[in-house]
Chains A and B, each alone.
Chain A
Amino acid sequence: MKQILAPIVSNSEIIPDVHLIRIEAPQVAAEARPGQFITACCGDDVLLRRPLSIHRIEEGQLALLFAVVGQGTAWLANRKQGESLDILGPLGNGFKVQQNTHNILLVAGGIGIAPLVCLAEKAVDDGISVKLILGTATATQHYSEVDGVEIIRVTEDGSLGEKGMVTDLLPSIAGWADQLFACGPISMYRTMAAMGTEIEGKSVQILLEQVMGCGVGACRGCAIPTHQGMKMVCQNGPVFDLREIMWEQITAPKIGQF
């Protein structure tokens, strides 16, 4: 974990209301793993640092992909090349790919694509076959391509790929995978948690988001109820086993907070 002032290399809106920021952060990039996050100071008008998934790790740089959902992320979206970001990270546990895994299936709902691209690129480098089911409300929200990854596209309005939800397609593809990794809204996780034989016996890792105070386990603010008691999204997560979480007790974070 390091706290640094990271120069912004680029910042662009690659999807409506979704920004990609690249920062020079060699000290953090050197330690970072897929599924981890950083927190960033987001100006004087919001108090808390905002947690952001690491989207890509590339030669001393980090790419952060985020949706503009509140005051903090709006400030971030307006940052220009040449300015710097006060970041703290890498934080959290990250995804765990098992040694004997050959095929992984990634399940992304909307902005949930952000941390999964990082995992996909690392897995492709390691010779693992990667498929990604990506679902959004409509076609214009779709992410472009990821080298070496087969993307199965889904939209709620049917404007691209299959019409429906990622969880509609998941059962038919899950059998191929040794491990599943998902990032998306709580409703998507709830549907997955309720699935029976379709994903039975598969390791399913999911990434949670929660309003955070400290990001390092000090304040106990980002608690999540699990079958092993309360756990911290920042310290024990953000990656959890799908079946570890007590989904019936979860309240989705109030998104305007970010």
Chain B
Amino acid sequence: MTNPDLSIQLAPNNHKGLLLTNPVMAASGTFGYGTEYADVIDIQKLGAIVSKGITLQPRQGNPQPRLVETPSGLLNSIGLENIGAEALIKEKAPLWNQWQVPVIVNIAGESVEEYAEIARMLNGVEGISAIEVNISCPNVASGGAEFGIDPQMAATVTSAVKQATNLPTIVKLTPNVTDIVQIAQAVVEAGIDSLTIANTFKGMAIDTVKRQPVLGNTVGGLSGPAIKPLVLHLVYRVAQAVEVPIIGCGGIASANDALEFLMAGASAVQVGTATFVDPQVMIQIVDGIGRFMHQQEIANLNQLIGTAILR
């Protein structure tokens, strides 16, 4: 058998498209602006890189402590520390433009207009392949998840961003809702190209000696292997309800984890916390998916997607 084809199109309805050579990408907030790990892994071998969530103005982020390790998980409360949209365009995009690996810019606003404004600024910037709209950050006072918990609000943000840019557009949903399917359907109707499912689960930890929350911002978002079965289920449900490509994100730490997400209906996966544990993990996942397809004589990644969905 010839080498299996791992490539995947994540924005089939966008005229530019978002074609990845493989379905494994670095999750926003865990891979900085793409350069931080470049000494130890070949970033050009990744399917894509999603950069740290960007806001209109630079942000200092939340007070420390910002991280707590929990059993098989990591609570974070970074608070969208970032360099701001202007600096990203000036300092990072020119570098990305020389890369083979597509860079997707995650954006977060405090108002619908701010989301649209950032999307307008990024439109046509060389080196940026797509936008991921963050309506799911659990760690900021205004903006973030407040746009992601109401179907109508989520659709309004989506429409505003779509009108402001020609770039392929992904929406990253929060799992902290009663029914993620409703939100997913609303943003799909608003014309989104693909969905990232999901951001972190809200959680906290308490220092029993001090009798106070450990995190400087009290509440954080839980990531890591602890949330994998939860997110896998969300992907499985949304995949049956919408037609757009889904990017699974939550606790993926091995090729087998990634395969589970693909079989649950995801077209691609994002890896975050696992990169902190082993910077090589994304490359190992790409290789592992390829090996699996070779062994199972699966020629094309599309033949795997959604195969575990009972019909």
A interface residues with partner B (beta carbon < 8 Å): 1-3, 41, 46-49, 86, 88, 210-225, 229-230, 249-251, 253-254, 257
The answer on a CB contact under 8 Å between A48 and B277 is yes
The answer on a CB contact under 8 Å between A224 and B64 is yes
Given the contacts A212-B67, A257-B69, A88 and B279 also touching, CB distance less than 8 Å:
yes
The answer on a CB contact under 8 Å between B40 and A220 is no
A-B contact pairs, 11 of them (CB 8 A): A47-B73, A48-B69, A213-B76, A219-B30, A220-B32, A220-B61, A221-B66, A222-B64, A230-B60, A254-B65, A254-B68
Main secondary structure of the interface of A (DSSP, over half): loop
Q: Which residues of B contact A249 (CB under 8 A)?
A: 63
B interface residues with partner A (beta carbon < 8 Å): 29-32, 36-37, 39-40, 52, 60-69, 72-74, 76, 78, 81, 207, 214, 216, 224-225, 273, 275-280
The answer on a CB contact under 8 Å between A1 and B39 is yes
Known: A47-B72, A211-B67. 18 other contacts (CB 8 A): A1-B39, A47-B69, A47-B74, A49-B276, A49-B277, A211-B69, A213-B67, A216-B36, A216-B37, A218-B36, A218-B275, A220-B32, A225-B63, A249-B63, A251-B64, A254-B68, A254-B207, A257-B69
Given the contacts A47-B277, A254-B214, A219 and B69 also touching, CB distance less than 8 Å:
no
The answer on a CB contact under 8 Å between A211 and B65 is yes
Q: Which residues of B contact A250 (CB under 8 A)?
A: 64
The answer on a CB contact under 8 Å between B224 and A47 is yes
The answer on a CB contact under 8 Å between A230 and B278 is no
Contact with B280, one of A1, A3, A49 (Cβ below 8 angstroms): A3
Given the contacts A47-B72, A257-B69, A223 and B64 also touching, CB distance less than 8 Å:
yes
Quick one: closest A residue to B279, CB to CB?
A3
Contact with A217, one of B36, B40, B66 (Cβ below 8 angstroms): B36
Q: Which residues of A contact B280 (CB under 8 A)?
A: 3
Taking the nearest CB of chain B, how far is it from the CB of A99, in angstroms?
A: 28
